[in-house]
Amino acid sequence: MIVVKVGGSAGIDYDAVCADLAARWKAGEKLILVHGGSGETNRVAEALGHPPRFVTSPSGYTSRFTDRQTLEIFEMVYCGKINKGIVERLQRLGVNAVGLSGLDGRIFEGRHKDSVRAVENGKTKVLRGDHTGTVEKVNTGLIELLLGAGYLPVLTPPASSYEGVAINVDGDRAAAALAVALKAEALLLLSNVPGLLRDYPDEASLIRQIPADDVESYLEFAQDRMKKKVLGAAEAVAGGVKRVIFGDARAGQPITAALDGAGTVVS
Ligand code: ADP
C-alpha cells in the first residue's frame, strides 16, 4: 500500500498526479490519495468576503484559524471542488475512485481544539471558536471495504471530533496517520517544491536523504507550512512506515519519480 498526499499549493499538476496514479492502479498497485486545497480555499474565502486568517503558535507553527464560516468554505473547496475534481479526473481515466472526507465513516478522528494560542504583534493571545484538531485515530474499516471492492479512495480533511464535530486537520499529518494505520510501505508528500530545501527557495539546495531516526533535527530547514510535512514524516517513520518522500507534483510522473527516489527521501 502506498499513501499519496498531494497538496493544495499553486503549481500542482493534478492531471499529472491522476494520470500517474491511474497507470499504477491499473497495473495492480494499491494506492490511496489524500489531498489538500489551501490555495483554492484562500481564493474562495477572499471572493466570499471572509478572507483567511493565519495564526502562528508560540512554537512557530502556522495554521488557519477556522471559525464556523471558514470551516464551511473549507468544506466547499476541499470536499467539493477539489475532491470531486480529482474523482472526475480518475473516473475519466477509467479508475473507479470514491471521494470522502475524514468525517465520512469517521475515517479521521481526533480531538477538537476550540482555542488556539497565537502570537500577534509579539503578544501571545488565546483565540476561541476554532474548529481545528489533530488526527489521533484512523478508522480504516470503510477504506478497507472500498479497497476490497476495487474502489480507489480519495480522502480529504476535515476530520471528525470525538463528539462528531467537523474539525480542520493538517492533511500531511492525517496522511501520515493513515499510512501508519494501513501499514503502508511508503508515504509520498507531494507539493510544489522539489522536496525539503536546505536553503528555501533555492531549489538547488534539495536535501536528498534524511535518516529515519533523525527527522526532527531537519525541522530547522522548514519554514511555516513545510514544518507540518517534516513532522508528519517523523510521525510516519516512528509508526513503522519504511519510506516517506517529499516530492514534486508540478509535472511529469510525480508518484513514479518520487518512488524512484527523486525528492527528499526519509528512510
Ligand atoms: P501543500 O499545500 O502543497 O501541501 P504547503 O504550502 O503546505 O504545501 O507546504 C509547502 C510549502 O512550504 C512550499 O510551497 C514552500 O513555500 C514552503 N517551504 C517552507 N520551507 C521550505 C523548505 N525548506 N523546503 C521546501 N519548501 C518549503
Using one digit for the tens of pLDDT, what is the confidence trace for 75-123? 999 999 999 999 999 999 999 999 999 999 999 999 999 999 999 999 9
Test site for ligand 1: of 217, 223, 245, most ligand atoms within 8 A of the Cβ: 223
Residue 168 counted as an annotated binding residue = yes
7 within ligand 1 shell (Cβ under 6 A): yes
pLDDT digits (tens, 9 = 90+) for 209-261: 999 999 999 999 998 889 999 999 999 999 999 999 999 999 899 999 999 99
- What number does the ligand 1 atom closest to the CA of 189 have? 4
Show the cell assigned to 100: 470522502
- What number does the ligand 1 atom closest to the CA of 197 have? 24
Residue nearest to atom 5 of ligand 1 (CA): 225
Distance between Cα 126 and ligand 1 center (Å) = 26
- What number does the ligand 1 atom closest to the CA of 12 have? 3
- What number does the ligand 1 atom closest to the CA of 196 have? 24
Q: How far is CA 144 from CA 26, 60, 91, 172, 258, in A?
A: 18, 37, 20, 21, 25
Test site for ligand 1: of 77, 173, 224, most ligand atoms within 8 A of the Cβ: 224
Percent of the chain scored above 90 by pLDDT? 96
224 within ligand 1 shell (Cβ under 6 A): yes
pLDDT digits (tens, 9 = 90+) for 143-154: 999 999 999 999
Structural domains of the chain, with CATH: 2-266 (3.40.1160.10)
The chain-wide mean pLDDT, for the chain, equals: 97
Give the model's confidence band at 60: pLDDT under 50 very low, under 70 low, under 90 confident, else very high.
confident
| Model ipTM value | 0.93
Residue 64 counted as an annotated binding residue = yes
Pairing of strands 123-127, 54-56: unpaired
